[in-house]
Amino acid sequence: MMTKQKKQWWMNKNIRLIPFKIVRGVLVAGICYLILFPMFVKLTVSFMDERDLYDTTVLYIPRLFTLNNYRMAFSGLNYWVSLRNTTLLAVSTSVLTLIACSLVAYGFARFQFPFKRLLFGCVIFMIVVPPQTIMLSQFMLFRYFNLFGLLTPFLENGHVNMINTFWPFMIMSATVTGLRNGLFVYILRQHFRSIPKELEEAAYIDGAGYLRTFGTIVLPASVPMLTTVFLFSFAWMWTDNYYSAMFFTQPRILSTALGALAPNLWATLDQTGLGQMHFISPGFESIVNNAGTFLMIIPLIVLYLFAQRSFVEGVERSGIVG
């Protein structure tokens, strides 16, 4: 009798799932620790005085709590100007990326045309090949931009210098050759393929064309996925240091300004009225860089708090199946 009761107890579904829930909880806790602990350390260090770094009794909680690090980082980053430029760049490139990648992905998902597989192979090639392999050619293209020689009769020098402007980012986003565009095309293609064709066929019967069907049927059904792609593009462009360092020779946006923060500490100290220093230690640079890093990612955290529902829903329905 006891054996039968024990068997029934074990056959209960909730009971059998307890070991899996425990393992899952341990894995999630471990992943959260790996992600959040370094950020926690950076956050606490950013509020420390330099003397706390060399105090063996201070581990994570600062003893000499100070906001001077954020004041110096704020001034050194030229924060409001850099924030405005970064927002304009990230929003414009993300919108262009979303429009261009959506059209390209829908074409791959629904239409048949010559060399379709070859062209989609190029999309996969964009994901696999690191951008450093074409770094020099991209820089020379926009340093001496001429649009296949068509602009030569209209220009005094025969070319246009687009370095230190937003145009390289705009052109690459509009032509689906920008940051992570190959991945976005792949994700959106898989999602568009998961949408029932019957919806589009009904629109065709009612007289809608391809673009109208795409705009009135496909896009409204893909809002969570489009939101996810926009947020990914925005976040990657916001924190990008590769293309920004290549096309900007001056610290005009937050990522390039953060890279130039440590060399500008002398001027920052003069502006904040903290006096002259004959030596800036690596520890002091690290503290100010930590403060600058958090000033840079605060807008992303705020954006995620407002868009987290659509973002999570889009990730769940990312379409990397089928």
Compute the distance between CA of residue 122 and CA of residue 109 in angstroms, rounded to an integer.
15
pLDDT of residue 14: 64
Compute the distance between CA of residue 244 and CA of residue 251 in angstroms, rounded to an integer.
9
pLDDT 10s per residue in the chain (322 long)?
445 555 555 556 566 677 788 888 899 899 888 888 888 888 888 888 888 888 888 888 888 888 888 888 888 888 899 999 999 999 999 999 999 999 999 999 888 889 889 999 988 888 888 888 888 888 888 888 887 777 777 777 777 888 888 999 999 999 998 888 989 999 999 889 888 888 888 888 888 888 888 888 888 888 888 888 998 899 899 988 888 888 888 777 888 888 877 777 666 555 544 445 555 677 788 888 888 889 998 898 888 888 777 666 666 655 444 3
**Crossing angle, helix 68-76 and helix 79-110, to 10 degrees?**
70
Compute the distance between CA of residue 86 and CA of residue 57 in angstroms, rounded to an integer.
40
pLDDT of residue 319: 45
Q: Quick check: 281 and 154 in contact, CB under 8 A? A: no
Compute the distance between CA of residue 179 and CA of residue 225 in angstroms, rounded to an integer.
18
Residues 6+ apart with CB under 8 A from 225: 187, 188, 191, 314, 317, 318, 319
pLDDT of residue 105: 93
pLDDT of residue 87: 93
Compute the distance between CA of residue 62 and CA of residue 235 in angstroms, rounded to an integer.
30
Compute the distance between CA of residue 89 and CA of residue 91 in angstroms, rounded to an integer.
6
pLDDT of residue 306: 81
Domains of the chain, start order:
21-66 (no CATH), 77-316 (1.10.3720.10)
pLDDT of residue 77: 85
Compute the distance between CA of residue 164 and CA of residue 269 in angstroms, rounded to an integer.
27
Q: Quick check: 229 and 246 in contact, CB under 8 A? A: no
Give the SS3 label for residue 160: strand
Using DSSP, how many helices (H) and how many strands (E) does the chain show? 17, 0
pTM for the whole structure = 0.82
Compute the distance between CA of residue 76 and CA of residue 79 in angstroms, rounded to an integer.
8
DSSP track, 132-165: GGGHHHHHHHHHTB-TTTTTGGG-SSSSB--TTS
pLDDT of residue 185: 93
Alpha carbons within 13 angstroms on the beta-carbon side of residue 209 total 2
Buried b (16+ CB within 10 A) or exposed e, 226-255: bbbbbbbbbbbbbbbeebbebbbeebbbbb
